[in-house]
């Protein structure tokens, strides 16, 4: 079996799973309980949160735990909109965003908020000049992903954040789900950052929202005490410890892993570029973990099916997108509906081997000969 869909989900690392299991057995009480066992769990929760904060360079009270990146994005976006609507109802975003971002913003649009989309340049990065033109006095939120989930385009987050610093009531939300644990990141000019450990060999079912301490959010879940007033629910200690473990492992060999994946990507791209009916959509600004291609005159679903028959697993789009619909990021980049309908996402990790890439390319070539 060859798994090349790491952008959708990564298999949990054994040591992360062991951490989750051990903590689940040892700490049986609710961290909010007032008795000794609850206090013991609370101390472990505080210890893990402190370590996560040190890894990310943020304060403990800036960390909010959620059920996943989807909830984190919804809380960040809707929370800002609700807390600061007295200053305006204008939001800026892009067509590169994950459905959990576009869905939350569409919800707000239906509630009377105004939404503008910043243009994407041919290289895949946002048009900073256009962004400047779109910002208004009543703009309260700009939401732009660190790296998009389909083409892997990395955005100039530091420059965008620097640009927004002049607007005191405009907050910068960044979906970092495809960036954290894969590439070096900085949170210096970011107000809110979201991510999920299951994207870097952590547990599925947990997410994180980093919120700078001076920022307010209107909660979207009500009732019950948690580690923060902004998100209700019983603190899930084993998930927090597992998230800390996955994050520390990812950061430990971040540079080495990144360099290795870059070499895999180069090999893959070099071979796929030889096919005249294959267009490489990923640009020089795409992270190496994602290589997105489109077929010219060939069905991408045919390729996915053939690869699966050979025990190779890739995807056409983000796993959260509706089937048989164009890829929004590919269309935003190429302005070509046919290419956006026939895209294929190959996503790699440091656990991908050269042998797997060789096998993939061999099977890909067989499929290409059958298709043309």
- Of the candidates 145, 320, 321, 367, the residue annotated as catalytic is 320
Cα–Cα distance, 370 to 260 (Å, whole number) = 32
* Rounded alpha-carbon distances, angstroms, from residue 256 to 13, 54, 179, 245, 359: 18, 21, 16, 18, 24
Query: Would you give the distance in Å from CA 129 to the centre of its chain?
Result: 25
CA gap 174, 55 in Å, rounded: 18
CA distance 146 to 98: 11
Task: Compute the distance between CA of residue 278 and CA of residue 298 in angstroms, rounded to an integer.
Answer: 9
CA 342 vs CA 62, 103, 210, 293, 302: distances in Å: 41, 23, 36, 8, 10
Beta strands in the chain, from DSSP E residues, in sequence order = 2-3, 63-66, 90-93, 114-117, 139-143, 171-175, 192-195, 207-211, 278-280, 290-295, 312-313, 343-347
Sign of CA dihedral 67, 73, 77, 80: positive
**Token pair 């990310």: residue:** 56
Q: Residue 320 catalytic?
A: yes
3-state SS class at 13: coil
Residues 6+ positions from 203 with CB-CB distance below 8 Å: 12, 16, 17, 20, 197, 239, 242, 243, 246
Give CA–CA dist 294/289, Å, rounded: 17
Integer Cα distance of 366 and 274 in angstroms: 14
Could you give the 3-state DSSP secondary structure of residue 344? strand
Instruction: Please tell me what DSSP assigns to residue 136.
Output: -
DSSP 3-state of 347: strand
Catalytic residue numbers, as ranges: 320
């Amino acid at each position: 079996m060859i798994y090349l869909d790491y952008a959708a989900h990564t298999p949990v690392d054994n040591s992360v799973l062991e951490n989750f299991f051990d903590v689940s057995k040892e700490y049986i009480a609710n961290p909010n309980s007032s008795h000794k066992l609850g206090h013991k769990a609370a101390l472990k929760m505080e210890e893990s949160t402190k370590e996560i904060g040190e890894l990310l360079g943020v304060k403990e009270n800036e960390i909010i735990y959620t059920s996943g990146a989807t909830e984190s994005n919804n809380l960040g976006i809707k929370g800002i909109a609700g807390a600061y609507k007295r200053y305006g109802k204008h939001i800026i975003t892009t067509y590169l965003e994950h459905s959990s971002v576009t869905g939350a913003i569409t919800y707000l649009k239906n509630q009377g908020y105004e939404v503008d989309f910043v243009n994407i340049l041919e290289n895949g990065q946002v048009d900073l000049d256009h962004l400047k033109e779109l910002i208004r006095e009543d703009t309260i939120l700009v939401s732009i992903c660190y790296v998009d989930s389909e083409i892997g385009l990395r955005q100039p987050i530091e420059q965008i954040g620097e640009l927004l610093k002049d607007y005191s009531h405009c907050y910068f939300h960044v979906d970092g789900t495809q960036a954290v644990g894969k590439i070096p990141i900085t949170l210096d000019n970011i107000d809110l950052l979201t991510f999920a450990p299951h994207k870097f060999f952590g547990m599925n079912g947990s997410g994180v929202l980093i919120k700078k301490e001076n920022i307010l959010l209107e909660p979207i879940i009500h009732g019950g005490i948690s580690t923060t007033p902004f998100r209700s629910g019983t603190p899930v200690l084993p998930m927090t410890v597992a998230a800390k473990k996955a994050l520390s492992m990812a950061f430990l060999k971040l540079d080495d892993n990144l360099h290795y994946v870059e070499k895999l990507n180069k090999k893959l791209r070099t071979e796929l570029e030889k096919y005249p009916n294959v267009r490489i959509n990923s640009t020089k600004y795409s992270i190496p973990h994602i290589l997105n291609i489109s077929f010219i005159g060939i069905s991408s679903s045919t390729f996915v099916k053939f690869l699966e028959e050979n025990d190779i697993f890739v995807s056409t789009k983000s796993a959260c997108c509706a089937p048989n619909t164009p890829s929004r990021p590919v269309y935003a980049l190429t302005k070509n509906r046919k290419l956006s309908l026939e895209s294929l996402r190959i996503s790699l990790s440091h656990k991908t081997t050269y042998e797997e890439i060789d096998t993939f390319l061999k099977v890909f070539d067989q499929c290409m000969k059958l298709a043309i």
